[in-house]
Amino acid sequence: MHRKAILHITALMLFSVLPFHHPMYGQSDYQEECTIGVALGSATDDGRPLLWKTRDNTVTDNHVKYNISYKYKFISVSNADSSTLPWMGVNEHGLSIVNSTAYDLPAYPFGPGNGTLMREVLGNCKTVSEFQHYLDSTNHTGRTTQSNFAVIDSTGAAALFETGGRTYCKYDASDSESGYIIRTNFAMCGGGSGGLMRYNRSTELIGDFFSGDTLNLKSIFRYQMRDFSDDNGEPIAVPYPYSPEIGIPFGYLNCKKSICHTASVSAAVIHGVLPSELAGLTTMWVILGHPASSVALPYWPVGPAPIEAGSVSRAELCDEAKEIRAILFDYPDNKNYIDSYKLRDANGEGLWSCLFPLEDLLFSETTDYMDSLRRLAYLPVQSMLMKEAYNSAFALSELQNCKDKLVLNESIGFIIAYPNPACDKLYIDYSLRKDFNIELFTILGECVLQTGLSNGVNEIDIASLKQGIYIIQVTAENKSYRQKLMKM
């Protein structure tokens, strides 16, 4: 994809590239592995620009905060502490920004870091052009930034800036072939390869959305931000009906290389406006918590976030998502593994069967609400804040219900039979929390086999059974689990 880069270098000498956690140049003692993107309205299905980020970090408590301490008010996703540093945000004029750390950019020992830069930009800039002017001015004084910053504004502009200590490269989305730009943890003008597999996978997914005219916030949340892939960047379906490697339980998959990363702690898609629309209608959709464990909710830059998302001490939406995440990532020997059968099992049940209808309802109702707001000549601030409050309270209640259902299912477990079709031997991976019997029925309901199971892999001799279709059934706590089997 062709991109036209503008390189600004004002330093008399380039400082050597140092990793972001270096004690002199960094503002963190860990590595971030975020995935971001930006798209012009010409690339999206409704003509409005989009900006998105999956935040990977060790700080698991994320809040939505409202900042009124600057020239322009803004909302952001920030750490749930006294810090006011934003990691994705939008201000009252529609200027929106996200970032991903780029470890291959030249550093500088003094000046604003990644979060400080975004806070100053959200608080003082209206447009992408003004953001670029800010970079020009701080090129002279220096920054401790090593980051890709993606930005959109209410004029429809969309761009990405690979920003080092006293240099930056600008990539305008209008100069790209399809009108969108994607980055992970490297810079095109930096020469590194951090997060390359996530970059390639995201490029593939966003390209598919663009080609199918479905580049929108739902596609990004549902299919890009919850995408799992292996060490080669190849997609992994959910559920994952295999044992990934020796010693790892059946159905668990490694998230270390995925866009839906082990360390993902929040995610946002910022839905911009048409130039003719009110800038305050720019909507920041946010998942507080691991993207696989919660749902996206809309927030506007018009006032404080509801208590469920932005209380001073804790955000209940984030807390609930963290509890759900702990159930999903429950393999004690390696916390990079998620139990895919808790997300979606062979019968289509699981957490996502509860979360996704809830999220679809939020998408649908908010779309209708936004359509009504766009017909107005003013921002109905109280109505928008009440909508946020209702959504957050409703989503929290439903998340709690989904978690309770997940806990109940966890107490029962899952069974997987393979190969299917089978000949002489049938293997059953079994993770029920108690000992239960398994039954095999013909399609006419005749029980032809009954045996006990133990945790782990069980081998069952089915050589004497006739060819045909059978039903494997396990009944536990008044709930039956069934799976079809073809006997060859």
> DSSP letters of 390-453?
HHHHHHHHHHHHHHHHHHHHHHH--EEEESSSBSSEEEEEE--SS--EEEEEETTS-EEEEEE-
Judge contact between 257 and 311, C-beta under 8 A: no
Measure the CA–CA gap between 378 and 373, rounded to whole angstroms: 8
Phi, psi of 334 (to 5 degrees): -160, 105
Cβ contacts of 445 within 8 Å, gap of 6 or more: none
- Could you tell me how far CA 170 lies from the centroid of its own chain? 25
Burial 231-258 (b: 16+ CB within 10 A, else e): eebeebebbbbbebeeebbbbbbbbebb
Measure the CA–CA gap between 447 and 285, rounded to whole angstroms: 51
pLDDT of amino acid 444 = 85
Measure the CA–CA gap between 215 and 39, rounded to whole angstroms: 9
DSSP class of residue 231 equals T
What domains are there in the chain, each with its CATH number?
A: 5-410 (3.60.60.10), 415-487 (2.60.40.3080)
Measure the CA–CA gap between 6 and 169, rounded to whole angstroms: 5
Judge contact between 286 and 87, C-beta under 8 A: no
Does residue 187 sit in helix, strand or coil?
coil
| pLDDT less than 50: residues of the chain | 1-30
DSSP class of residue 232 equals T
pLDDT of amino acid 2 = 34
| Alpha-carbon dihedral angle through residues 171, 219, 325, 478, given to the nearest 10 degrees | -170
Measure the CA–CA gap between 287 and 221, rounded to whole angstroms: 9
Taking the chain, what is the end-to-end CA distance rounded to the nearest angstrom? 50
Judge contact between 442 and 466, C-beta under 8 A: no
Measure the CA–CA gap between 308 and 396, rounded to whole angstroms: 7
- Could you tell me how far CA 299 lies from the centroid of its own chain? 17
Measure the CA–CA gap between 258 and 197, rounded to whole angstroms: 8
Return the residue matching tokens 């807390």. 319
pLDDT of amino acid 411 = 58
Cβ contacts of 462 within 8 Å, gap of 6 or more: 422, 424, 425, 426, 440, 449, 487
At 138-195, the pLDDT tens digits run 999 999 999 999 999 999 999 999 999 999 999 999 999 999 999 999 999 999 999 9
- Residue closest to 329 by CA, chosen among 292, 299, 381, 369: 292
pLDDT of amino acid 435 = 59
- Residue closest to 438 by CA, chosen among 419, 414, 464, 421: 414
Phi, psi of 150 (to 5 degrees): -105, 135
